[in-house]
Amino acid sequence: MNNKSLVSIQECSKDDILRIISKASLFEQNPNQELLKGKICASLFFEPSTRTRLSFETAVNRLGGRIVGFSDAATTSSSKGETLKDTILMVSNYADLIIMRHHLEGAARYASEITNIPIINAGDGANQHPSQTILDIFSIYKTQGGLDNLDITIVGDLKYGRTVHSLIVGMSHFNPTFHFVAPDELRIPEIYKTFCEEKNIKYHEYSDFSEAVINRSDIVYMTRVQRERFTDLIEYEKVKNVYILKNSMLDNSKDNLRILHPLPRVNEIAYDVDDNPKAYYIEQAKNGVFARQALICESLGIKI
């Protein structure tokens, strides 16, 4: 991790990822520790969130730190025209760490370049969501008993899905085979295919979400079509229900298969999947607290 900020998962080496998930595992065993006593963390959410914001805030609270911030930028002076630069400089006067979600790609990078306190990117537009990737990899590790040589099927909005983009980079250290399932309009961007090719990572693309691809998967990572990223809502309407995972589609899947989803779900996983032992998305979100406890300590240089 560069300057202790976490802006992009590209900044995490394989060793970084393994160290952070190992710390997450320790926090899972013992979540309440006074490691952030006297520290103030700012939680700046310029875009809506349930899990990311609340799990970061839970992580800070469980570590004995304090939180300041906002979950609705309309209540801040940015609604009066204050720039992101001035907002970041002001909050840097008050807090030891900034956790920030913003609709603009590159916003977290920019923030990290104008302040001396660490920035954790909690999602920047369609670009990156690195803390989600750490919790996703922690979840994969817990469910598969390891990270190497897995068949990972990623389904849905691969164009705008920032969790997808970060996951591809994060898992690239572990020789995965990716199966990318998306409609033509939402295919994985060329930049990520080039990335895989340069790293000798195998990938396949599909427009059908078939049982054949599910049955060879260790992980099926479902994603929501990102309505908020479309400039033309007619285009959104065309693809919004393109893939729906139903329980019957899992009948011949591998025993170790787990279904992940960064959530929120809209309707891409039918509710009858929830009771299947292979559904893991609720536990996955719980893992976010432990992963984020580990990330906060890494960013602040706090040993556990």
Q: Which residues would be at the binding site for ligand CP (CB under 6 A)?
A: 49-52, 123, 132, 262-264
At a CB cut-off of 8 Å and minimum separation 6, what does 277 contact?
A: none
Catalytic hit among 52, 87, 143, 163:
52
Residue 109 annotated to the active site: no
Catalytic hit among 23, 53, 102, 129:
129
The residue (of 216 and 265) whose beta carbon lies closer to ligand CP is 265
Spatial distance between the Cα atoms of 203 and 168, rounded to a whole number of angstroms: 10
Residue 51 annotated to the active site: yes
The one-letter code for the residue type at 121 is N
- CA torsion through residues 92, 94, 100, 105, sign: negative
Nearest to 6 by CA among 114, 119, 113, 163: 119
- Classify residue 187 as exposed, middle or buried by CB count within 10 Å of its CB (0-12, 13-18, 19+): middle
At a CB cut-off of 8 Å and minimum separation 6, what does 248 contact?
A: none
Spatial distance between the Cα atoms of 190 and 160, rounded to a whole number of angstroms: 13
Q: What is the smallest separation between the CB atom of 55 and ligand CP, expressed in angstroms?
A: 8
Q: What is the smallest separation between the CB atom of 279 and ligand CP, expressed in angstroms?
A: 16
At a CB cut-off of 8 Å and minimum separation 6, what does 236 contact?
A: 225, 227, 230
Catalytic hit among 53, 62, 101, 224:
101
Q: What is the smallest separation between the CB atom of 43 and ligand CP, expressed in angstroms?
A: 11
Q: What is the smallest separation between the CB atom of 161 and ligand CP, expressed in angstroms?
A: 10
At a CB cut-off of 8 Å and minimum separation 6, what does 72 contact?
A: 45
Catalytic hit among 4, 19, 39, 51:
51
At a CB cut-off of 8 Å and minimum separation 6, what does 172 contact?
A: 195, 196, 199, 201
Residue 52 annotated to the active site: yes
Residue 101 annotated to the active site: yes
Q: Are 165 and 123 in contact (CB under 8 A)?
A: no
The residue (of 143 and 253) whose beta carbon lies closer to ligand CP is 143
Nearest to 60 by CA among 34, 30, 78: 34
Residue 194 annotated to the active site: no
The residue (of 176 and 288) whose beta carbon lies closer to ligand CP is 288
Q: What is the smallest separation between the CB atom of 184 and ligand CP, expressed in angstroms?
A: 25
The residue (of 50 and 79) whose beta carbon lies closer to ligand CP is 50
The residue (of 121 and 172) whose beta carbon lies closer to ligand CP is 121
Spatial distance between the Cα atoms of 280 and 302, rounded to a whole number of angstroms: 30
Q: What is the smallest separation between the CB atom of 263 and ligand CP, expressed in angstroms?
A: 5
The residue (of 132 and 253) whose beta carbon lies closer to ligand CP is 132
What phi and psi, each to the nearest 5 degrees, are found at residue 75?
Answer: -90, 5
Catalytic residues: 51-52, 80, 101, 129
